[in-house]
Amino acid sequence: MTTSRASPVDHRGVLPAANLPRATLGMAIGTAISRLTGVGRLLALAYALGFLRLTDAYNLANTTPNMLYDVVLGGVLSATFIPVFVDRLATRSPREAWRAISAIVTLALGVLVVASCLAWVLSPWIIDAYTVFRHAPQGGAHHALDQERAVATTLLRWFVPQIFFYGLISLMTALLNTRSRFGAPMWVPIANNLVSIGVLLAFHALVPKPSLAGAELHPHQLVLLGLGTTLGVVAQALLLLPSLVRAGLPRLRLRWEPRHEAVQTVLRLGAWTFGFVIANQVALYVVLALAVTAKGPAPVSSYTYAYTFMQMPYAVVAVSIMSAVTPDLSRSWAIGDLIGFHHRLVRGLRAVLAVILPAAVGMVLLAKPAVALLLGHGVTTTSDTTDTGACLAILGVGLPGFCTFLYVVRVLQSMQRPEAAFWLYLIENGINVIAAFGLVGILGVRGLAASISIAYSVAAVAGIFVLRHWLGRLGSSESWYPLRRVLGATATMGVTVLVVSNLLGATHGIALLLRVLSSMAAGILVFFGAASAFALRHERERSLQGRHRHSSP
């Protein structure tokens, strides 16, 4: 089987351990640029549509293909495909392994086609379900609700093909990861974002003052928004094809064998996964439906923007680390290398938290001015961005729990323990839904952010207990010392950011930009300085302990 010289692998597609940091760095750089262009996409969306009910209709419709894709395939794919692919490549002959992989891929493509067709037909009922909690009296409010439903339905029908292409992207990503190729999937979303930015800027040029009524009366506006957004996803999928060709998959074929034992393994493992995917999407539906009822100019968009910003450090760092670690965890578990499994688990989690903890503190402290700078035209007092900034700060509190929980799920998937992941997700989603109903009436859309932070934090603790129950102690005290050093440096950084931000205190214009940049720069410098100081002190202590042991009789 041919492989590229740029990423040497053995006959099973195993990436040498020495290349893992380089692979992770490449993914992190690609994801960082992708997320930066994603921020540009949000800026373009806020610029073109503002904070209007039209924006909510667009965001509801554009979120739905992701939800439906996760239900029909996405969750099962991420939970079972890579572990099963890696297991077959590690334990079977190449011919047997690729026949199994071909059967799984063929069935997945068929499911995606059927799901896309059904979603197009059911689009009106899907949009109606979002507004089940929102009751408008007869008159202007009721008419506006009907307009919002009609516009969202039209947009959703243009967005439905994304279900198939998101699935295609995920299938190609799984195949590339199986061959220890991680970089390309992290870079191609840039094309999607750039296409969307172009579409949104073109829309603004054509429709400088958009509205629900105008979009309903002029269908070409919705064609531009809907078709243009979907073409971005198509471009993302097409750009993965060259990497797939270079990966060397000569035995991959379309093979309809739904009764193949590998397909049955995926279905067996995927049954639990499908259960927690359904629970995830039910919880997301409830949150979005409650957001529709919240007060504010565009509560759904405020929540959506905040959640997207919150995921940036997770997507840039945590996903890169998880993607690089998951095949290695799956392989170690498949061949019974428990020592290697423990080592990789601890190193991966430690690396994730080392970045996420300071990012979370910075997010909490700078959420309001940063959101105002990006989405509020540089003014912190606008009502449009106040809810978004508050939601982002609350979500930042739950970011470490969010990342830890998802890492634990990856570990359980590598162990082929989807039933444990199911129960953990059930706990997380149950807390999320109950808290959302209780808090939305008190805090509005901010209560929805709080419910997610609470749910993921509690579920993360539960997940760690589950791993300890099965695997025992997760590393020695010494192996976790670098994280304690990060905690100390993060606390020092937080105080610095708070002091600098409050001292500057600007609320608009260039002064606000300087406030955000100065706070970030001071925080980064202090963090690395404090981390280095803690490391030097630890080395001195170890040196003194070593001398004491050698001098003892």
248 falls within a domain: yes
Is the pLDDT at 275 greater than 50? The verdict is: yes
553 falls within a domain: no
How high is the pLDDT of residue 458?
Answer: 96
How high is the pLDDT of residue 160?
Answer: 94
Q: pLDDT grade, residue 22 (50/70/90)?
A: low
Q: pLDDT grade, residue 447 (50/70/90)?
A: very high
In angstroms, rounded to a whole number, what is the distance separating the alpha carbons of residues 93 and 331? Answer: 15
> Which one is predicted more confidently, 129 or 400?
400
- Residue 171: exposed, middle, or buried by beta-carbon count in 10 A (0-12, 13-18, 19+)? buried
Q: Which of 13-17, 408-412, 458-462 has the lowest mean pLDDT?
A: 13-17
Is the pLDDT at 164 greater than 80? The verdict is: yes
524 falls within a domain: no
In angstroms, rounded to a whole number, what is the distance separating the alpha carbons of residues 377 and 361? Answer: 24
- What is the average pLDDT score of the chain? 82
1 falls within a domain: no
pLDDT digits (tens, 9 = 90+) for 81-92: 777 777 777 778
> Which one is predicted more confidently, 531 or 162?
162
**295: DSSP letter:** S
Apex CA 487: angle with CA 364 and CA 494, to 5°?
A: 35
479 falls within a domain: no
405 falls within a domain: no
3-state percent breakdown (helix, strand, coil) of the chain, nearest 5: 85, 0, 15
103 falls within a domain: yes
Mean pLDDT of 336-358: 88
| Residue 172, domain extent | 41-278
Q: Which of 4-13, 17-26, 158-167, 503-512 has the lowest mean pLDDT?
A: 4-13
pLDDT digits (tens, 9 = 90+) for 308-335: 889 888 877 777 788 778 878 888 888 8
62 falls within a domain: yes
How high is the pLDDT of residue 450?
Answer: 96
Is the pLDDT at 50 greater than 60? The verdict is: yes
Q: How many domains does the chain have?
A: 1
**14: DSSP letter:** P
Token pair in block for residue 471: 């695997």
pLDDT digits (tens, 9 = 90+) for 285-298: 888 888 888 877 77
Is the pLDDT at 18 greater than 70? The verdict is: no
Encode burial over 94-107: b for 16+ CB neighbours within 10 A, e otherwise.
Answer: eeebbbbbbbbbbb
> Which one is predicted more confidently, 213 or 551?
213
How high is the pLDDT of residue 398?
Answer: 95
Is the pLDDT at 520 greater than 60? The verdict is: yes
In angstroms, rounded to a whole number, what is the distance separating the alpha carbons of residues 457 and 435? Answer: 13
- The pTM assigned to this predicted structure is 0.73
Phi-psi region of 147 (alpha: psi -120 to 50; beta: other; left: phi over 0): alpha
How high is the pLDDT of residue 1?
Answer: 33
